[in-house]
Amino acid sequence: MADPTILFAAFLNGLTQGAVYALIALGLTLIYGVLHIINFAHGAALMVALYGVYYLFTGLGIDPFLALPIVMGAMFALGYALQRFVIGRASHGRDENILLVTLGLAIVMENVALYVFRADTRTIETAYAFATVDILGALVAIPKLAALGGALAMAAALFLLITRTDLGRAIRAVAKERQGARLVGIDVDHVFAMSFGIGFACLGAAACFLMPAYYVNPTVGSGFVLIAFTTVVLGGMGSFGGALAGGFVVGIAESFGGLAGIALGAGENMGQLAIFTIFIAVLLFRPQGLFGART
Amino acid sequence: MLVARALSIRFGGVAALQQVSLAVEARRIVGLIGPNGAGKTTLFALLSGFLRPESGSIAFRSRDIAGMPPHAICRLGMTRTFQIVQPFAGQTVRDNIAIGAHLHHRRRTAALHAAEEVATRLGLAADLDQLAANLTIAGRKRLELARALATQPQLLLLDEVLAGLNPQEIADMIPIVRAIRADGVTIVMIEHVMQAVMSLADDVHVLANGRMIASGPPAAIAEDPAVIEAYLGRGTADKLRLAAGLAHG
Amino acid sequence: MRSLAGVAAFAVATALVPAFVTSGAVLNAVILTLYAVLLGQAWNVLGGYGGQFSFGHAVFFGTGGYVMAVLQIRYGLSAWLAMPAAIGAGAAVGALVGALTFRYGLRGSYFALVTLAFAEVFRILANTFAFTGAGVGLMLPLADTPAQLQFGSRAGYLYLILGFVLAGFAVHLWLGHSRFGARLTAVRDNEASASALGVNVFRVKLGAIMISGALMAAGGVFYIQYLHYLDPAIAYGPAVSVEALLVPIVGGMGTLFGPLLGAVALHALSEGTRNLFGDAPGISLALYGVVLIVMVRYMPRGLIGLFARRGR
């Protein structure tokens, strides 16, 4: 079992899977960094985006990678609207209330999807779905490599957005000092909604990269929620580099955990167990994560 | 009663308190004054267990208490109030005070009864069934004091219990503070209302920039050039000397 | 005391139901509503009175259910002996989760997430090990005798769940009139103040989560005895956790009758949607989600807020 080829394959597998986790986490960490909201609806929103990619492909024949701008745009609009008209209004200031509202949104999204799409699991078959590339003896699926590239590109784009644009400056101001930002004339509600929208747009991108190699059903989102949170918490809330790093660590941990589980005869679930154990451990012992600031 | 020696603490590189020492004798009223940001509330937080000093020691009734959690220090007999009042907002005045009373009363009825007594002593009897959130600022300050008193402390740390009160309300509070001391409670009070401090306090300590710059009787403090420089200003100092002279004969 | 009278009236009214109602469907509806009350009461202790919102309360439910099942199936223990063990196990898991999370000061959203993580960990563990039946789950053999806490008629189960619910009411009444209850709500409303007034915040929270875990485990016990089947998804899945928190949020957190009101309202809602939309999957749950959002936005004090001057 300690065959280096297998280990290397598991490592690469974890890395590319981790890239997808990072994509999901980038949006989440932005939302948390700016609004200080723990967005429980993140997983369900990913599910919605996945269905979007699915129907664009099966209904209109649009390849997931070409659909990127469409899906990202639509998700951005969804996120903006949700924050502006639902979440923003409901919080009454308490942390937990927002958590409950986003939980409610997740439940609504999941079950409306269940009603509309039924529970069957669907996949798409793109021409390149099974194309692989040989890296040092390990076979890596092309879509997964694309995901890796996508995650890095997305992180870079977000970083540039936050540091080089006016919107980014406004976002940073609001994240740092809400009242002060309001006083200097920044439309805080708009910035919140923009941030939420951008976070959802990241999910749209993640869905485009994920769908070719994965599947969708109404409950697939809840499987991602905790993983996304683990990634964000590990990397540090509000840090893009942290989301990347966290994603890779989580992906690799899951991959090796699964490997260990199979070796021990306990099944692949051990990978997930590893993730959740990391999550609990980080929150207990180092809540600011690897790169976050101590609050 | 309370001896703090050479307390120091830093927040992210900034020294909030440096080598601060303080001694409080039983049944005294001790004033703690100084400019905003001097570290007075930080000192209270250290004394009452909400913060841990990086160096120095705190002895309360001959016991080393540095590093003990707040509830344990309260059980030993030292209770603090908060500068920004923190009532249990959705609960009644009676229920608020009862929490303090429960320190010494196990049964609910006994605690509620004790709460009523404390409320009456502090003039809150009429508000017993009001929600704490509905009280005026003066009422909330009294509630804060009442809750602390209900724990039957031997040492009371009052953090700006007069802040935000109008002159009439302040005048009403002063005899209450005196009566508490008359009951045998030692008091350390952070205050900015100088007239009150000078007339109430037996000893005054002055904190500025994280250091204790003066300690002594009110009249002497009012004349201390370092204190005048750092905090009081000439005009105030003259007025206070007058007031201190009148209060202490 | 008004509240005691109210609980007594409820107890009597419910106990009389089997005398007037023979329809199995109606009795089942009453039983399931009471079951929801119990879950809501459990969550209410920690979330409503204690202010610590858990999103993974199923971790206690599943433990109660599995311990109950495993002790009977694999060790041949009598149901009446297995029951206190299962409830005790719920309290023990409460102590474990509480000791870890409260010791390290986790609160608010982080606490909610960690409880969810714990539920997931337990779900995966239950899915892995043979003694919990792994993915297949456990089937409780039919015994149909009260000696094994199984009843031939629905009425028997009604009294069983009523017994648990009355225990839940007893706990709520105790919280409303005891030093512990007063300290718990003080910790909820302002931890720093409570601490400054001599309240050991950690111990109070720990006590609350243990009591909450025990009540929730009782829910798991009832579930396995009534429905005879348990698997990891049912035991530790989000459905139970969501039901547990939704009930008191709708009815009124931190109140005596909140869970009862919430369970009845939610049950009426799901019956109503079933009449309107048939048995289409997802509709009633989607509505639950809408209800959650609406309650948090417009009625944070729950339905009780419509009746009482203020919640306690």
Nearest to C197 among B90, B99, B131 (CB): B99
Contact between A205 and A150 (Cβ < 8 Å): yes
Cα distance from C254 to chain B (closest Cα, Å)? 12
Give chain C positions within 8 Å (CB) of B111. 179, 182
Report yes or no on A198 lying in a domain.
yes
Nearest to C281 among A95, A115, A269 (CB): A115
- Given a cut of 70, is residue A268 above it in pLDDT? no
Interface of C with A in 211-240 (CB under 8 A): 238
- Given a cut of 80, is residue A264 above it in pLDDT? no
Convert B125-164 into a string of H (helix), E (strand) and C (coil). Answer: HHHCCCEHHHCCHHHHHHHHHHHHHHCCCCEEEEECCCCC
Amino acid C227: pLDDT = 94
Share of chain B above pLDDT 90, in %: 57
Nearest to B108 among C177, C196, C197 (CB): C177
Interchain contact C164–A (C-beta under 8 A) = no
Least confident of A134-143, B68-77, B215-224: A134-143
For residue B245, name the pLDDT band (cuts at 50, 70, 90): low
Interchain contact C281–A (C-beta under 8 A) = yes
Amino acid B157: pLDDT = 95
For residue A201, name the pLDDT band (cuts at 50, 70, 90): very high
Amino acid A294: pLDDT = 47
Amino acid A189: pLDDT = 86
Share of chain A above pLDDT 70, in %: 95
Helices A42-60, A188-210: crossing angle, 10 deg rounding: 50
Rounded Cα–Cα distance for residues A34 and A193 (Å):
10
Amino acid C309: pLDDT = 54
Nearest residue on chain C to A98, judged by CA atoms? C296
**Contacts of A154-163 spanning 24+ positions with Cβ under 8 A:** A154/A23, A154/A26, A154/A202, A154/A205, A155/A22, A155/A26, A155/A240, A155/A241, A155/A243, A155/A244, A158/A26, A158/A30, A158/A198, A158/A202, A158/A240, A159/A240, A161/A198, A162/A240
Touching subunits for chain C (3+ Cβ pairs under 8 A) = A, B
Q: Say how many CB pairs under 8 Å bridge B and C.
A: 82
Report yes or no on A291 lying in a domain.
no
Element (DSSP H or E) covering residue C124: helix C108-128
ipTM above threshold 0.85: yes
Nearest to A96 among C53, C100, C101 (CB): C53
The domain that contains A24 carries what CATH number? 1.10.3470
pLDDT in tens, C24-52: 889 999 999 999 999 999 999 999 999 99
- Given a cut of 90, is residue A257 above it in pLDDT? no
SS3 B248: helix
Contact between B5 and B57 (Cβ < 8 Å): yes
**Domain extent listing, chain C:** 2-234
Contact between chains at A90 and C293 (C-beta distance less than 8 A): yes
Mean pLDDT of C302-311: 72
Average pLDDT, chain B: 89
For residue A136, name the pLDDT band (cuts at 50, 70, 90): confident
Report yes or no on A293 lying in a domain.
no
Convert A29-90 into a string of H (helix), E (strand) and C (coil). Answer: HHHHHHHCCCCCCHHHHHHHHHHHHHHHHHHHCCCCCCCHHHHHHHHHHHHHHHHHHHHHHH
The phi and psi torsions of B83 (rounded to 5 degrees) equal: -60, -50
Amino acid B243: pLDDT = 67
Interchain contact C250–A (C-beta under 8 A) = no
Pick from C284, C293, C298 the residue to mutate for testing the A interface (most A CBs within 10 Å): C293
Report yes or no on A124 lying in a domain.
no
Interface of C with A in 20-59 (CB under 8 A): 53, 55
- Given a cut of 90, is residue C141 above it in pLDDT? no
Report yes or no on A201 lying in a domain.
yes
pLDDT in tens, A90-99: 766 666 788 8
Quote the domain boundaries for residue A206.
4-119+129-285
Contact between chains at A104 and C296 (C-beta distance less than 8 A): yes
Nearest residue on chain C to A36, judged by CA atoms? C109
Mean pLDDT of A36-50: 90
Nearest to B163 by CA among B36, B27, B21, B6: B36
- Given a cut of 60, is residue A293 above it in pLDDT? no
Rounded Cα–Cα distance for residues C99 and C206 (Å):
7
Give chain B positions within 8 Å (CB) of C178. 108
Amino acid B248: pLDDT = 59
Report yes or no on A216 lying in a domain.
yes
Mean pLDDT of B146-163: 94
- Given a cut of 50, is residue A295 above it in pLDDT? no
Tokens of residue B198, six digits: 């000078």
CA C305 vs. chain centroid, Å, equals 21
Contact between chains at C121 and A273 (C-beta distance less than 8 A): yes
Mean pLDDT of A35-43: 86
Cα distance from A24 to chain C (closest Cα, Å)? 17
Nearest to C179 among B50, B79, B106 (CB): B106
Mean pLDDT of A161-188: 85
Report yes or no on A292 lying in a domain.
no
pLDDT in tens, B62-110: 899 988 999 999 999 999 999 888 899 889 999 999 999 999 999 999 9
Q: Say how many CB pairs under 8 Å bridge A and C.
A: 127
- Given a cut of 90, is residue C251 above it in pLDDT? yes
Contact between chains at C192 and B99 (C-beta distance less than 8 A): no
Contact between C48 and C262 (Cβ < 8 Å): no
Interface of C with A in 65-104 (CB under 8 A): 100-101, 104
Cα distance from A68 to chain C (closest Cα, Å)? 29
Q: For residue A231, what are the CA distances in angstroms to A24, A149, A253?
A: 9, 18, 11
Find the chain B residues whose C-beta atoms sit closer than 8 A to any C-beta of C: 48, 50, 69-72, 74-75, 79-82, 86-91, 95, 98-100, 102-103, 105-108, 111, 131, 147-148, 150-151
Contact between chains at C282 and A111 (C-beta distance less than 8 A): yes
Contact between C7 and C166 (Cβ < 8 Å): yes
Cα distance from C105 to chain B (closest Cα, Å)? 13
Contact between chains at C194 and B99 (C-beta distance less than 8 A): yes
CA dihedral A253, A256, A261, A262 (to 10 degrees): 150
- Given a cut of 50, is residue C311 above it in pLDDT? no
Nearest to C199 among B86, B99, B148 (CB): B99
Rounded Cα–Cα distance for residues C227 and C32 (Å):
11
Contact between chains at C281 and A89 (C-beta distance less than 8 A): no
pLDDT in tens, A70-95: 999 999 999 999 998 888 887 666 66
